[in-house]
A and B are shown apart, each in its own frame.
Chain A
Amino acid sequence: EVQLVESGGDLVQPGGSLRLSCAASGFTFSSHEMNWVRQAPGKGLEWVSYIGATGTTIYYADSVRGRFTISRDNAQNSLYLQMNRLRAEDTAVYYCARDSSYGYFDSGTYYNVNAFDMWGQGTMVTVAS
């Protein structure tokens, strides 16, 4: 079955750390760029971080840069998010999302599509004392 399964969410105190994992199956994980996206309770979607297929290229949202670290293990078909110095505003459901890693030609120009075509079920992170 083609799926992404997150784990590692928990209740943690402000200033604490947590490591999220995302296990991929049913597709060639090493061919896809990956992302973490979060959603605070009752709020909209917020992109958190991106990692390229080989792990060489990484981007972060300003809100987490310097505190969160994205990584991947292609041999284990796994994506990770190490979260340090957690704050109350980091409370959210965290989703791993597969980048479509798709491209197409239109009028002679090549376009890369970085839409998120597969999502996990999410894992809840609560930061509170």
Chain B
Amino acid sequence: DIQMTQSPSSLSPSVGDRVTITCRASQDISNSLAWYQQIPGKAPKLLLFAASRLESGVPSRFSGSGSGTDYTLTISSLQPEDFATYYCQQYYSTPYTFGQGTKLEIK
């Protein structure tokens, strides 16, 4: 199974900050990586797929990069509605696996 290691597990940024979350796979996943946002009590929402492709309707302040085993989600200027938990997921092979999540908490 491919293990996904996300860091950090939590962050306390301020509105307007640039935020970076990293995700490392235990093997090369060839950009088969998605990022999701989950607000408490709600279902996850797809933000990006193929490591860097923005899902339709997602604000452009979200971006993704990386290759091989190392990937990054960046929020260029944090907005109040962005305080949530973020998960990476590899879909390179089953079992599909998620990172443990990164919780953004209001400072």
Tell me if A61 and B45 are in contact (CB < 8 A): no
Contacts of B55 in A (CB 8 A): 115, 117
In this complex, what residue of A is CB-closest to B95? A61
User: A76: CB under 8 A from chain B?
Assistant: no
Contacts of A122 in B (CB 8 A): 43
Contacts of A116 in B (CB 8 A): 34, 36, 44, 46, 89
Q: Per a CB cutoff under 8 Å, which of B1, B32, B43, B97 touches A119? A: B43
Tell me if B50 and A59 are in contact (CB < 8 A): no
Q: How many contacting A-B pairs (Cβ < 8 A)?
A: 68
Q: Bound complex: CA of A26 vs CA of B89, how far in Å?
A: 26
Q: Per a CB cutoff under 8 Å, which of A35, A111, A114 touches B31? A: A111
Chain A: number of interface residues, binned into ranges? 20 to 34
Question: How many Å from the CB of B10 to the closest CB on chain A?
Answer: 13
Question: How many Å from the CB of A116 to the closest CB on chain B?
Answer: 6
The residues in A between 88 and 129 inclusive whose CB is less than 8 angstroms from any CB of B are 95, 100, 102, 104, 111, 113-117, 119-122
Tell me if A119 and B49 are in contact (CB < 8 A): no
Q: Bound complex: CA of A37 vs CA of B87, how far in Å?
A: 13
Chain B: number of interface residues, binned into ranges? 20 to 34
Query: Per-residue 0/1 for B45-85: is the Cβ within 8 Å of any A Cβ (1 yes, 0 no)?
Result: 11001100101000000000000000000000000000000
The verdict on A115 contacting B34 (CB below 8 Å), with A44-B98, A47-B95, A104-B50 known, is yes
Contacts of A44 in B (CB 8 A): 87, 98-101
**Which residues from chain A sit less than 8 Å from chain B, CB to CB?**
35, 37, 44-47, 50, 59, 61-62, 95, 100, 102, 104, 111, 113-117, 119-122
Give me the 10 closest cross-chain CB pairs, A-B, nearest first. A119-B43, A114-B91, A115-B34, A115-B49, A47-B96, A59-B94, A45-B98, A44-B101, A117-B46, A61-B95
Complex A-B: 13 CB contacts under 8 Å:
A35-B96, A44-B87, A47-B94, A47-B96, A47-B97, A62-B1, A104-B50, A113-B32, A113-B50, A116-B44, A117-B55, A119-B44, A119-B45
**Which residues from chain B sit less than 8 Å from chain A, CB to CB?**
1, 30-32, 34, 36, 38, 42-46, 49-50, 53, 55, 87, 89, 91, 94-101
